[in-house]
Amino acid sequence: MSRPTIFDVARGAGVAISTVSRAFSNPQRVAEETRERILRVAEELGYVPNPHARALTSRRTETIAMVVSDITNPHFFEIIRGAEMRAKASRFTLVLVNAEESARIEMEQIARLARSVDGFLLAASRLPDEDLLQLAGTHSVVMVNRQVQGIPSVILDQKEGCRQLVVHLASLGHSSVVYLSGPRNSWIAASRWQAIRDSAAACGMSALRMGPYTPTVSHGGAAADAALTTGATALIAHNDLLAIGVLRRLAARSVRVPEDVSVAGFDNIFAADLCSPSLTTLSGVHADLGRSAVELLLDGVAPGPRTGEAPRLVLPSQLVLRSSTGPAPVAV
| pLDDT tens track, the chain, 332 positions | 567 877 788 889 998 877 887 787 667 778 889 988 999 998 898 887 655 445 444 457 889 999 999 999 999 999 999 999 999 998 899 999 999 999 999 999 999 998 889 999 999 999 999 999 999 988 899 999 999 999 999 999 999 999 999 999 999 999 999 999 999 999 999 999 999 999 999 999 999 999 999 999 999 999 999 999 999 999 999 999 999 999 999 999 999 999 999 999 999 999 999 999 999 999 999 999 999 999 999 887 544 445 557 899 999 999 999 999 999 998 75
Q: 182 with 212: CB under 8 angstroms?
A: yes
Report the pLDDT value the prediction gives residue 4, as an integer from 0 to 100: 81
Q: 47 with 6: CB under 8 angstroms?
A: yes
Q: Considering only CA atoms, which of 165, 173, 171, 213 is closest in space to residue 192?
A: 165
Report the pLDDT value the prediction gives residue 29, as an integer from 0 to 100: 77
Quote the Cα angle for 242-246-248, to 5°: 115
Quote the Cα angle for 53-83-160, to 5°: 150
- To which H or E segment does residue 77 belong? helix 75-89
Q: Considering only CA atoms, which of 131, 238, 253, 242 is closest in space to residue 193?
A: 238
Phi, psi of 41 (to 5 degrees): -65, -40
Q: Which domains does the chain have, with CATH numbers?
A: 6-58 (1.10.260.40), 63-151+287-317 (3.40.50.2300), 158-285 (3.40.50.2300)
| Structure-derived torsion over alpha carbons of residues 167, 170, 175, 177, reported in degrees to the nearest 10 | -50
pLDDT tens, position by position, 170-221: 999 999 999 999 999 999 999 999 999 999 999 999 999 999 999 999 999 9
Phi, psi of 117 (to 5 degrees): -130, 165
Report the pLDDT value the prediction gives residue 271, as an integer from 0 to 100: 95
Local structure of residue 145 (DSSP, 8 states) = S
The 10 Å Cβ neighbour count of residue 226 is 14
Report the pLDDT value the prediction gives residue 30, as an integer from 0 to 100: 85
Q: Considering only CA atoms, which of 78, 208, 223, 65 is closest in space to residue 135?
A: 65
CA distance 224 to 260: 13
Report the pLDDT value the prediction gives residue 8, as an integer from 0 to 100: 83
Ranges assigned E (strand) in 125-169: 140-144, 153-156
Quote the Cα angle for 235-146-108, to 5°: 115
CA distance 281 to 21: 52
Report the pLDDT value the prediction gives residue 115, as an integer from 0 to 100: 86
The separation between CA 246 and the C-alpha centre of its own chain, rounded to angstroms, equals: 24
Q: Enter the pTM of the model.
A: 0.80
